A and B are shown apart, each in its own frame.
Chain A
Amino acid sequence: MTAALETSGLGKSYGRGASAVSALGALDLSIPKGIVYGVLGPNGAGKSTLLRLALGLVKPSRGSVRLLGEQTIDARVLRRVGAMIEAPALYPFLTARETMHAFARYSGLNDPAREDAVLARVGLTGAADRKARTYSMGMRQRLALGAALLARPELLILDEPTNGLDPAGIQEMRTLIRELVDQEGVTIILSSHLLDEVQKVCDRVAFINRGQLVSEGKVSELVAGQGSLFIRATPLAKAMAVLGARGRVDGDGIIAAVAEEALPALIRDLVSAGIDVFEARWMTQSLERVFLSTMGGAQ
C-alpha cells in the first residue's frame, strides 16, 4: 500500500554558504493512509517547512518527497489533496460563498450544491454572504478548512487547524477530523501545539526538532507505560517517610512512582500511619509529558 506522504533524506536550507540556515535536516518519514497523523515540534522545528515541501510550495534542497505515491508534485496530484497551511489564505474582498466559487473554479469544479454543503459543514451558512475581511480568526479558520474540503480530498494537510477556535469550535474540529477519517477514509496530516487535542484525535505522531525526526510512533504506544500517583496529604514529611524512594515532593503534594495495582495498599499504609489524605489522583502518561521528555532529551 502506498503511503500518503513519504520522505527520503528530505532537507531544506535557506541561503547559501556559511549563512545557510537549515530548516529541515535529512528527514525520513512514511505516513500511512487512512489515519490522523500528527506532526509535533516546538516553534521553528520545521513542521511548516515539511508541509510546504509536501505541497510543492518550496523546493527541497536535498532528498525526495512522494505525495500519494507520486514523485512529481503537480496539480494532478495536488487536486487530490486539501491543504490549510499556517494562517488562513483568503481573498479579503470575497464573501465565504464567493471564496468557495473562486476555489471551485481553480479546482475545475462546478458544483454549487457541494459548495453550500461544505459551508454548512464548517458552520458558516449563516455568514456565507459576509466578506472574509469581516470574519473573526475562528471564522477565517473554518472558511479555509471549507476551501480545503471542497474537492473531496483523499489527503488533508492541516497546519495548526485549531488556531483561533473557541473550545466548542475545537471540539467540533476534533469531531469533524475523526468523521472524515473514520467515515470517509480521508487521511489527515496535522500539526498542532495543543498536545491534549493531538492525543485525542491522532493515531500516530512524529516529534520533530531542529529539522530532525526525534521520535515517531502510535499515540497509544507512546503514552502507554507506568503512570504516577499524585497525593496531597499532611503531614508531608511523614507521608514521604512511608513512600521512601518512590516519592518526590511536587508543590504541595507528592508524586509517587508506583504501579496502578499497588495503589489500594499504599493508601491503606498512609492512613494507618496516621496521615490525613486529602487527594489521591492517578495520572496517566500524557502526550505532553512524552513530548516534553522527548524534546528535553533532544536539546
Chain B
Amino acid sequence: MIIDALRAELYKLARNRGSAFWAFGFMPLFALSAGLIEQGFVHLYIGDIIPYASPLQDSLSGLASFSVSIFQICGIAGAAIIFAGEYRWETWRASLTRVDRIPAMAAKMIAFALAISASLILCSLARMIVGFIDAGLTGSATWPPAGAGEILIAHLVAFAASFLQIMVTAAFVMLVAVVSRAMTAAIVATVLTLVACEIASIRGNAGGDPIYLMFPNIAGDAIRQAGQMIMLQREGLLAGFAPMAVPVLVIEFLLLSGAATALFVRQDLSKE
C-alpha cells in the first residue's frame, strides 16, 4: 500500500510543476547561474588570480547547499507543499479512503526524500559544471590533491550531512503541518525556528560544545567539515563532533516524524 501512496505522491508532485520547481528545481538552477555569474565577474574584473580550481571541490560545495538559508527556505516550502497540501486542498478525505494513514504519511516523507536528494545531486552537478568552466578558463588543474576513494567518501559524507539536516527540518514541517493543518503555519514556524537555531549557535560557542549539535545546522556543519577534511585535508572546528552529529540528526528525525505520525493517526478529520 505504501508503494501505491508513493506512486500517487510522486505523480502529484510531478504534475504540480510550478510549486515543484520553486521547491526543488530552483536550487540547482540558482547554483548554476550564480556560479556562472560569479566566474564571469572574477574573470572580467578581477582576473585569473585563483591558482587552483577543481570541479570536484565545487561539487562538494554544491552538496553543502543546505548551509545556505535560501536553499533551506526552498526545501521548507517543498516539505510544506507535500505535508500540508492535503489540509489546504481538503483532500485527505479523498486519499485516506484509499490508503491507511501511516503509509500515506510515510509515502509523503519518501517522496520528499527522493525530491530533495535529486535536488542536492543537481546542485552538486551544477557546481561541478561551473568548476569545469573555471578550470577551462584558467587552465588550472581539475583534480584535487586527493585519491578517488577519498573524493567519493567526501561526497557521500557531504550528501549525508545535507540530507539528514533537511530531513530533520522536513520532519519539523510535518509536525507543524499536522498540528496546525495550515501550509503557511508550517513554513513560518519552521523558518523562525531555524533562524532561532542560527542565532543561538552564533551567540553561543558552537565550536566548542557538543550541546550545540542539537541544532540541525551545527550538526550538519560538523559532518560536512568532516567530509572536507577527508578530501581537502582542511581542518574544521566542528569536524571532531561528526561521529556524534549523525546519531543526533537521526534521533531528531525519528522523534519529530514519529510525533507527527502518532498525532496524525489519532487526528479527527472532521474538517481538514
Contact = CB atoms under 8 A, between A and B. Distances in A.
A90 B1 CA distance: 21
A105 B7 contact: yes
Given A57-B269, A102-B11, A75 B1 contact: yes
Contact of B91 (A82, A83, A90): A90
A219 to B, nearest CB: 27
A172 interface: no
B97 A78 contact: yes
A74 B270 contact: no
Interface in B223-272: 266, 268-270
A103 B11 contact: no
A106 B8 contact: yes
B99 interface: yes
Contacts of B45: none
Contacts of B266: 59
Contacts of B103: 75
A254 interface: no
B94 A58 contact: no
Interface in B59-89: 85, 89
Nearest to A94: B15
Given A14-B270, A57-B96, A57-B270, A105 B91 contact: no
| Majority SS at the chain B contact face | helix
Given A90-B91, A91-B89, A105 B4 contact: yes
A56 B96 contact: yes
Nearest to B269: A57
Interface centre among A90, A98, A102 (most CB of B within 10 A): A102
Given A79-B98, A98-B15, A89 B93 contact: yes
A49 interface: yes
Contacts of B12: 91, 94, 102
B166 to A, nearest CB: 24
Nearest to A55: B97
A58 to B, nearest CB: 4
Contacts of A81: 97
B4 A83 contact: no
Contacts of A49: 270
Contacts of B19: 93
Given A83-B93, A91-B89, A98-B15, A103 B100 contact: no
A55 B5 CA distance: 18
Interface residues of B, number: 30
A130 interface: no
Nearest to B6: A105
Chain A residues touching B, range? 35 or more
B16 interface: yes
A254 to B, nearest CB: 48
Contacts, number: 91
A178 interface: no
B26 interface: no
Interface in A198-238: none
Interface in B13-52: 15-19
A105 B8 CA distance: 5
A106 B5 contact: yes
A92 B89 contact: yes
Contacts of B99: 75, 106
B92 A57 contact: yes
Contacts of A85: 93
A108 interface: yes
A30 interface: no
Interface centre among B91, B96, B98 (most CB of A within 10 A): B98
A87 interface: yes
A47 interface: no
Given A105-B7, A105-B8, A90 B89 contact: yes
Interface string B103-128: 10000000000000000000000000
A190 to B, nearest CB: 16
Contacts of B193: none
Nearest to A74: B100
Contacts of A94: 12, 15
18 contacts: A23-B270, A55-B96, A57-B269, A59-B268, A78-B97, A83-B93, A85-B93, A86-B93, A89-B92, A91-B85, A102-B12, A103-B95, A103-B98, A106-B8, A106-B98, A107-B4, A107-B98, A151-B98
* A-B pairs, 8 with minimum CB distance: A105-B8, A106-B98, A89-B94, A58-B268, A105-B7, A108-B4, A57-B269, A106-B8
Given A57-B270, A106-B8, 4 more contacts: A14-B268, A55-B96, A89-B90, A93-B16
Interface of B: 1, 4-5, 7-8, 11-12, 15-19, 85, 89-100, 103, 266, 268-270
